[in-house]
Amino acid sequence: MLSLLAGALAATSFLPAAAAIPYSEYILAPSQRVLTPVSVHRANGSVTNPSGLTIHGSGHTVLNSVSAITYDYGVNIGGLVSFTVGGVNGSNNFIGIGFSESSFWIAPDGSDATQNVGLDEILWYPVNKPGNYSVDNAHQRGGFRYLSLHHNSSGSVALSSVTTNFTAMPHYADDAMRDYTGYFHCNNEQLNRVWYAAAYTDQLCTIPSTSGNSLVDLLANDSSIPTFWYSNSTLTNGTSALVDGAKRDKLIWPGDFSISLPGVFLSTNDQYTLKLSVAQLFAEQNASTGQLRYAADTLHPGQPAGQFFTGLNQVYSYTYHMYNLLALNNYYIYSGDIDFLRQNWYRFNFGLNYSLTSVDSTGLAYVATNATADWLRVGMGAHNIEANSILAYTLTRAMTLAHAVGDTSQNARWQSYYDNIVSAANELLWDESAGLFTDNQTTTLHPQDGNSWAVISGVANSTRAATISSALHARWGPYGAPAPEAGTTISPFISGFELQAHYIAGQPQYANALMEYMWGDFMLDDPRMTNSTFNEGYDVSGALHYPAYADDARISHAHGWSTGPLLALTNYAAGLHVINSSTWLVQPQPGNLTNVEAGFTTAIGTFGATYSSGNGSTAYSFQAPPGTTGTVILSGISGSLRSSNGTMVPLVSGVAEHVAGGNWTLVASSGSTLGGNGGANGSYAGGSGSSPKPVPYTGGTAKKSASILALIAVACVLVL
């Protein structure tokens, strides 16, 4: 019998899709690997025919004396740059190459940053004769939209071409990178663009496994000197790896996987890469304690060995330890790879029981001072609501996985831990006056992460979930949802969890609004962004400043943890929830959307849904794989479901259980419309209503010290 993994590979990467791909006009991935700039962004000094090297240009481009050209690829890309010299005049000619994801960081003396101070150095190449010149593999740039060519002598160089060999998705055929297995479309054009930009962001974060770890000069401390950079560590035992960011860190971080891993399954179904990457997360589990790493170690660290891992080995994260466990859960849910789950079941148990050793007499986990590393927020520790909510959620996933592997011996114990966390968190951490949980018992801060996770995990009951949703919505500013636990940060990572919380709380209109104006109007359309991928974070003022970093230029503009809308729109708006390899939930929550269509294919099979409403009626149809069963929740709908073979299943209070996989269509009673938790009853419509709109940013950028990065750098110094 063919394995599920073999089936997934055949369905995804190596062969062109047999059928037309729905809504392929939105796909941003290239149709071939060799890419040419689409336009000239700017030229400085004496440059003849600067547009000659663009896709529509012709003739040689000549750089005379001290001069430079910045080319625009139109979207964020990544890969190896090559250029062809047609002629040289004079001696000691050099061509330099610089990169930037954002137009904000185009500079005459460097590229945007991968370290934590200053800019990355320009790559200089001596040019003495005509010929072809290429960047070496260690210097393939994972993320850039803008490519700058510099010339620094009194002579001149004539160039006949400049190209980039696109290296993301390295295991895919050169013409298969647009062969999506998932799709999304609705009546809101911004949300359509957001979904596909999220999918493309995850693609850029799928890199050659031998091009990992860009954090090679974290001890640099002089911002006036460009830092050296490269990435040549091996990350997995295969050809590819899913990493946090295309430019940096180019590492396998488990926290990011809680957003990006499901997103990959729902868009390209790259199960091959996901299995390799999750396997690496568990490869370095502490054999004595069960502790899992803050980030996966490299198989081969490259040369010289990266300083980052010297310090990282001394860092423990209570939350990221559990994100490792959730990565295995999410991989199994979408792949159905029961063999891989069984192979790692002991490790999962070992890791979960290690987390439970921190639970004290209150019923809550107490996060010790040596376990507070997180997503670069501050104040993690003590009886923290985020940590405890993630623990509660992990316990629910563990009990479900236990049934899958046939080992439920710990379920009663795990249920008791879960119940105690729910009770204690609501008793000790709930702030009725704010309608939010406090971060812990020592502060009045109400975190975005902990409150979002409290809703997702069920720590907050339905009443409090709705209260939290409204309170979080009330805090939005002109650029998005704030994360006060990280100072003045807006975190697309944590906001991805907030999206889920709004849906779960039965207020999908808030999720739609946040995706439209934060991800669409600002993160996608602001001229400082790549207009194609999503960055990892910024300041509440709209500045391209991530408060956790000392150097604003190092912000990643293609970060998988920022792709939460992909999951939110497919799972929640369209209503397609995969529970495991044989079970699903269909519960559309379109909010104020009047048309939604989504689908995806994994090793389990094909899922799809189409929703429309208007003139007081609702139409909905869905598809689930044969041999599976699920529950359908259509709140506010009365009527029946009709299968393609004519079978009728009645809806009882909008619910049908034990529905067999297949093709089903709603037969709604007259005047029946989707409402309640699936409600199309929101007040937000088309950018108006109660949600703020982005305003042009005019301020300066602030500087703050790094937190975890500084800790790791200090550890490096202590060890070296």
pLDDT of residue 256: 98
For position 19, what pLDDT does the model report?
64
Q: Which pLDDT does position 5 carry in this prediction?
A: 36
Q: Taking residues 403-419, what's their average pLDDT?
A: 98
Sheet holding 538-539, edge to edge: 482-483, 489-490, 538-539
Query: Residues 376-398: what's their mean pLDDT?
Result: 97
Give the pLDDT mean for 183-192: 98
CA dist., res. 183 & res. 267, Å (int): 7
| pLDDT tens sequence across 599-639 | 999 999 999 999 999 988 899 999 999 999 999 999 999 99
pLDDT score of 303: 61
pLDDT tens, position by position, 228-248 = 999 999 999 999 999 999 999
Whether 211 contacts 250, CB under 8 Å: yes
Q: Phi, psi (5° rounding) for residue 288?
A: -95, -40
Confidence check: pLDDT of 700 > 60: no
Q: pTM score, two decimals?
A: 0.93
pLDDT band with cut points at 50, 70 and 90 for residue 308: low
Q: From 395, 531, 530, select the one nearest 458 (Cα to Cα).
A: 395
Q: Reduce the DSSP state of residue 411 to 3 states and report it.
A: helix
For the chain, what is the mean pLDDT? 91
pLDDT of 217 reads 86
What are the tens digits of pLDDT across the range 479-509?
Answer: 999 999 999 999 999 999 999 999 999 999 9
Choice among 84-98, 311-325, 367-381 with the minimum mean pLDDT: 311-325
End-to-end CA distance of the chain: 52
Question: Residue 240: which of 256, 252, 253, 257 has the closest Cα?
Answer: 252
pLDDT of residue 674: 81
512-552 pLDDT, tens per residue? 999 999 999 999 999 999 999 999 999 999 999 999 998 99
Instruction: With a cut of 80, say whether residue 3 has pLDDT above it.
Output: no
Identify the three-state secondary structure at position 700: coil
> For residue 205, is pLDDT > 50?
yes
The residue assigned the tokens 């400043």 is: 545
- For residue 221, the model assigns a pLDDT of 87
What pLDDT is stored for residue 368 in this prediction? 97
> Cα 310–252–35 angle (5° rounding)?
115
**Does 280 have pLDDT greater than 80?**
yes
What integer pLDDT is reported at residue 232 of this predicted model? 94
pLDDT in tens, 658-685: 999 999 999 998 767 786 444 332 222 2
Q: Which of 331, 211, 334, 212 is nearest to 282 (CA)?
A: 331
- The predicted model gives 587-593 an average pLDDT of 98
Confidence at 307, pLDDT banded by 50, 70, 90: low
Q: What is the pLDDT of residue 312?
A: 77
pLDDT above 90 coverage of the chain, percent = 85
Which string of b and e fits 248-285 if b means at least 16 CB within 10 Å? Answer: bbbbbbbbbbbbbbbbbbbbbbbbbbbbbbbbbbbeeb
Task: Decide if pLDDT at 213 tops 90.
Answer: yes
Report pLDDT for 503.
98
For residues 300 and 326, the model is more confident at 326
